[in-house]
Amino acid sequence: MNTIRTIVSTALCALLLAFSSSAQAQSSENRNSAFSRNLLIFNEIYKMLDLYYVDTLSADTAIRWAIDGMLSNVDPYTEYYPADDDKLKQMATGKYAGIGSIIRYHKGHDRVIIDEPYENTPSQDVGLRAGDVIISVDNKDIKGMMPTQVTNMLRGEAGTTFELRFIRPGETKERSVRITRRTIQVPSIPYYGMADEGIGYINLSSFTSGCAREVRHALIQLREQGAKSLVLDLRDNGGGSVNEAIDIVNLFIDKGIKVVYTKGKQASTNNEYYTTSDPLAPDMPLVVLVNGMSASASEIVSGALQDMDRAVIVGTKTYGKGLVQAIRDVTYRGELKITTGRYYIPSGRCIQAYQYNHDGSTKTIPDSLRNVFYTKAGRVVRDGGGIQPDSIVKTDTLPTMVYDLVQSDQFFDWATTFVNNHSSIAEPTVFQVTDSIYADFIEYMVNEEVTYNRRTDELMKVLRDVAEMEGYLKDAEEELKALEAKLARDTRKDLERMRKHIVPYIEAELITRYYHLRGVLRHNVPTDKGYIIAAGILNNPTLYNNILSNKAQ
């Protein structure tokens, strides 16, 4: 069936390219004529496949392949959603109907397990815990299934009930519970609080419906608790609603200010967005944290506040998504999320960092082609590459061994064992991994023979192969053996050596088990490099004002 998929996708991709080329050759051929001609070609190819291909061809599947093939050559954000796909609704609202739990695949069990039950959800109500191994959903064995398949089984209409069978680590007898699905609201603000004396902190994870109202509420609460300045954390926030972004900017700037405008092919897609209300905190010193995963609406908020010299932006360069999507209804209750234009922030710049060539390839805009724009105070900003922070946070390089380790089943299983043996841990703000906890961690990993892919092993093999190819191996054998001995894998030694890198991940995993994501954020904020820089700027009014007035050196 892969052959069918290739043929159909190629046919529709060719159709798309034909449409593009026809636009450039209107003098020789009418655009509508080209459209009709290529549509007839595609229709004929599909009919031939349906009649003559050796295997039975599903119309729904084959045409979906063709649609996906065509859209894959446009840009990553133009997507088709059939009537039975609720992903678009979930992205817009942050809601779905299910049990409220993150799941993951466990290689050792060859099954999906519970990764994290959300607070106040059906999964928590029936007592599910991280590490529980799912056996069946309504008597259907899920062995060998991937998380996406199991997710589709766990979700459904709110109010419907099903039986879930699972085994808890450390036990041999299966457990069974009946769970009633209900609407799950993923919080757009997983945590807010006073991070320091006089400094409030709000972590905004997504721009879903109603998030601006939640930010307003959090800001009011923080000011009542004594906040004189604010850190708004948009790191890893991939965006969402433009209207919510405008309303959040409006909390800090005056009514009637143009925050963003869009330009597209059709006049109907050209829009201007203005603030509509009096601001809640027009003079509150503000720092916005961003990183490479801050995109779309996050860039509208951070970029607009930067262009108006209303906030200091701290972190690393943002993703660079300056394209706007709209939803169009499709026959049979489907929906098409289609890129209709580009957006421009107050300085007039578009921060789109990628050019999508309609052959599936992508390239970034080189610095030499990025144009200069100016903020309200005359600071230089540029287009074509995301939002460049006013203050850069240098990120630490994570050793590859640590990355492999924290992604392993053994790391997750150790945390599950720890929770089974400890009913509680200290509050997130004071919890630390002690020597005894880390010693227990090392023993578990050594006994379980945890594996991790050390790049030194790979490079040593390459060095040996190249030395042999070039005739140096015999002469260098003694030195190579000595180097291999020095670099030999020693799990206990490696874990001791990497302790300072591993401990933060252990703390995050354990705190998540007991206090969920909000607990992790409470724990991390005081020692977070981005927050420390932000707090240093907010605690130095002269520096803060100099940055925004173009006087910083």
Lookup result for tokens 């959800």: 121
Tell me: do 373 and 248 sit in the same domain: yes
pLDDT at 20 over 80: no
Confidence of residue 126 (pLDDT cuts 50, 70, 90): very high
Provide the pLDDT for residue 552: 55
Q: Is residue 349 part of a domain?
A: yes
Cα Rg, the chain, nearest whole Å: 27
The more confidently predicted of residues 239 and 17 is 239
Lookup result for tokens 């967005």: 273
Tell me: do 307 and 370 sit in the same domain: yes
Distance of alpha carbon 59 from alpha carbon 16, whole angstroms = 20
- Nearest of 208, 238, 245 to residue 92 by alpha carbon: 208
Contact status, residue 265 vs residue 341, Cβ threshold 8 Å: yes
Among candidate residues 394, 410, 439, the one where a domain is terminated: 394
- Render pLDDT for 496-519 as a digit per residue (tens, 0 to 9): 999 999 999 999 999 999 999 999
- Options 196, 307, 383, 413, the catalytic residue: 307
Helix (H) or strand (E) holding 111: strand 111-117
DSSP class of residue 207 equals B
Q: Which residues contact 456 (CB under 8 A, 6 or more apart)?
A: 487
Provide the pLDDT for residue 499: 96
- Options 123, 196, 321, 494, the catalytic residue: 321
Tell me: do 504 and 467 sit in the same domain: no
- Among this protein's residues, is 321 annotated catalytic? yes
What mean pLDDT is predicted for residues 422-435?
Answer: 96
pLDDT at 548 over 80: yes
Provide the pLDDT for residue 482: 86
Among candidate residues 133, 161, 185, the one where a domain is terminated: 185
Tell me: do 449 and 460 sit in the same domain: no
Provide the pLDDT for residue 467: 85
Q: Which residues contact 26 (CB under 8 A, 6 or more apart)?
A: none
Q: Is residue 335 part of a domain?
A: no
Tell me: do 472 and 499 sit in the same domain: no
Provide the pLDDT for residue 471: 87
Q: Is residue 382 part of a domain?
A: yes
- Render pLDDT for 293-344 as a digit per residue (tens, 0 to 9): 999 999 999 999 999 999 999 999 999 999 999 899 998 889 999 999 999 9
DSSP string, 137-195: ETTEE-TT--HHHHHHHH--STT-EEEEEEE-TT--S-EEEEEE-EEEE--S-SEEEEE
Domains held by the chain: number: 5
List Cα–Cα distances, 147 to 136, 153, 291, in angstroms. 13, 10, 28
Tell me: do 211 and 180 sit in the same domain: no
Partners of 274 in beta bridges = 258
Task: Determine the number of helices (DSSP H) and then strands (DSSP E) in the chain.
Answer: 18, 23
Tell me: do 11 and 133 sit in the same domain: no
Q: Is residue 259 part of a domain?
A: yes
Provide the pLDDT for residue 90: 76
The whole-chain average pLDDT of the chain stands at 90
Q: Is residue 88 part of a domain?
A: no
Q: Is residue 435 part of a domain?
A: yes
| Structural domain boundaries, residue 250 | 191-327+340-394
User: 442 φ, ψ to 5°?
Assistant: -60, -45
- Among this protein's residues, is 296 annotated catalytic? yes
Tell me: do 164 and 51 sit in the same domain: no
Tell me: do 406 and 390 sit in the same domain: no
Tell me: do 11 and 50 sit in the same domain: yes
- Options 188, 296, 298, 347, the catalytic residue: 296
What mean pLDDT is predicted for residues 415-439?
Answer: 96
Tell me: do 425 and 473 sit in the same domain: no
Tell me: do 139 and 111 sit in the same domain: yes
Both tokens of 361, joined, read 């390839």
- Render pLDDT for 180-203 as a digit per residue (tens, 0 to 9): 999 998 889 999 999 999 999 999
Confidence of residue 29 (pLDDT cuts 50, 70, 90): low
